[in-house]
Amino acid sequence: MELTPEQQAEIKALRAGQATTRRVTVEALEELLYEPVPVLDHGFVRVIDYMGDDSAIVQAARVSYGKGTKKVSDDAGLIKYLLRHRHTTPFEMCEIKYHVKMPIFVARQWIRHRTANVNEYSARYSVLDREFYIPAPEQLGVQSVSNRQGRGDVLEGEEAANVLEMLKNDAEQTYDHYVQMLNEDQDGNVIDESRSGLARELARMNLTLNTYTQWYWKTDLHNLLGFLSLRADAHAQYEIRVYAEAMLESLKHWVPITYEAFQQYRVGGASLSASALDVVRGMINGNPIAQEDSGLSKREWRELMETLGRDQS
């Protein structure tokens, strides 16, 4: 990730600023404010602003004055209860705003989480940077035969080199054509005074999906946890998962009690269907149960056995 001198100066100025406030602030998150966390080859995530902390959740749940109880253990117990029993409203009292730079195809996955306020960099008004996501060789997986949305074994040797070369060449060629159609460079300067450039809103359609875009993304804590539970999961696509992991780290600094509860009940926990629960009860009682008699499909059975850590061989 490379920042321009102007971007570096802006971040330095923002981080040097101080504001007197009566609002609740979180010292650990204040240390991260405005600082970009590198993601992929040219991307980043940075926290721009936030509202509330763990005590705001407790306050909302109890509809009381102040910052909750005097005992952290009491607040932790309540937050765990709320998360465990899916009482979502108190978590909506906290909000956070991120500035994210990511490939367009990642943004198109991300935007499916229709639970945030989003303002994206507009290629109708500005010229996009000449930056493209080129996967690391170890991320070049073939199509999985068991999961239509996943990857299998990693490409190697000449085949991998050819794929990387095609990705790079295609992105560079389409960007060159983009600039030719615009007849202007990244700074908005006209390249050839003797001809007119195509409108920016039309020229952009030629760009590849690995071109980088940016946006500001603001959401409440409840919906952030929903996003992270899906996108920080090991089954999520790598290119969006690394962004979620960076955001998960900011969550840890912002609301540490909620973070621990989230790890306990969402990340490390599991939800079982009624049929799966019957299977578990039968196992506890020592009853031999086969997949055919369980009421579960083969896939559901496999997932349950994986959750329980049972050998399926």
Tokens of 103: 């490939």
- How many angstroms separate the CA atoms of 24 and 187, rounded? 41
- At residue 132, what are phi and psi to the nearest 5 degrees? -135, 145
Residue pair 215/107 in contact (Cβ under 8 Å)? The answer is yes
Distances (CA, A) of 204 to 83, 121, 166, 186, 195: 43, 12, 20, 13, 19
The first and second tokens of residue 231, run together, are 């996108």
Please tell me which residue in 231, 266, 281, 302 is annotated as part of the active site.
231
> Taking Cα atoms as reference points, which of 93, 91, 54 lies closest to residue 75?
54
**72 three-class SS:** helix
Amino acid at 28: A
Tally: H helices and E strands in the chain = 13, 7
Is 231 an annotated catalytic residue?
yes
Instruction: Name 50's bridge partners.
Output: 96
Active site residues: 231
